[in-house]
């Protein structure tokens, strides 16, 4: 199974044994939206520049989860800012998460387990069934951060999404989280990228962080 950015982020955000999400709901919501937009950029369907999302190829990707939202972008009557699309897609993040998990279960990467609380309430957990795809992903990311391997564009995008979700400690361990944060801030990691691509990653992260600030402020105000 080909793992896109949403699949990868979902696997990293799930506790392998307990099958529960480690990342906070708000952070994961907007990181998921960012991952979808970045995946469209990787597929050369959209251009991210000047803080806007521009459609450059209307051909669908073939990924039903991504295409649902890509169709909405195509049908939009005006060009919108990155932040606007992060917010709009973020409103459907729970559905994206459910469909992503269902696909990972169908491909036998995750296992769906029904659990009970007080034998009255039931809920599902999704522990790892086949650890190979995630282990390979974690090893590649570890080599980039700890062993200074050269990152691919998609890996740089994923590393920034990991930072947005505060998953550095979970992915790299307590002993390496400081190194991870330093690498993310170090522009040398991005030196091989074209300027427009580099800026695109930054714009998505800025949009995610802006939405997190807004949501956190709203949460504090209403309590």
pLDDT tens for each residue of 172-196: 999 999 999 998 887 666 666 656 6
pLDDT tens for each residue of 81-97: 999 999 999 999 999 99
**pTM score:** 0.89
Of the ranges 2-11, 20-29, 132-141, 183-192, which one carries the lowest mean pLDDT score? 183-192
208 vs 110, residue with greater confidence: 110
Using 50, 70 and 90 to split pLDDT, how confident is the model at 223? very low
Q: Which two tokens stand for residue 176?
A: 């390496």
Using 50, 70 and 90 to split pLDDT, how confident is the model at 37? very high
Interval 54-72 mean pLDDT: 96
Domains and their CATH numbers in the chain = 5-221 (1.10.3630.10)
pLDDT at 25 over 90: no
Using 50, 70 and 90 to split pLDDT, how confident is the model at 222? very low
Interval 40-57 mean pLDDT: 91
pLDDT at 21: 92
pLDDT at 220: 43
**What is the overall mean pLDDT for the chain?**
88
């Amino acid at each position: 199974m080909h793992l896109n950015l949403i699949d990868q982020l979902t696997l990293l955000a799930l506790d392998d044994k307990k099958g529960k999400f480690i990342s906070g709901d708000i952070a994961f919501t907007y990181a998921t939206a960012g991952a979808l937009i970045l995946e469209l950029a990787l597929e050369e369907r959209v251009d991210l520049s000047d803080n806007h999302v521009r459609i450059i190829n209307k051909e669908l990707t073939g990924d039903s989860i991504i295409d649902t939202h890509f169709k909405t972008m195509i049908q939009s009557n005006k060009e919108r800012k990155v932040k606007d699309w992060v917010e709009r897609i973020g409103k459907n993040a729970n559905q994206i998460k459910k469909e992503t998990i269902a696909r990972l279960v169908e491909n036998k990467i995750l296992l769906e387990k029904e659990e009970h609380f007080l034998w009255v309430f039931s809920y599902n957990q999704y522990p790892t069934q086949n650890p190979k795809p995630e282990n390979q992903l974690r090893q590649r990311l570890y080599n980039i951060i700890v062993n200074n391997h050269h990152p691919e564009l998609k890996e740089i995008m994923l590393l920034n999404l990991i930072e947005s979700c505060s998953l550095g400690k979970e992915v790299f361990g307590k002993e390496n989280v400081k190194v991870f944060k330093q690498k993310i801030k170090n522009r040398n990691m991005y030196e091989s990228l074209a300027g427009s691509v580099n800026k695109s990653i930054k714009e998505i992260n800025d949009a995610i962080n802006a939405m997190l600030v807004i949501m956190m402020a709203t949460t504090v105000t209403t309590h």
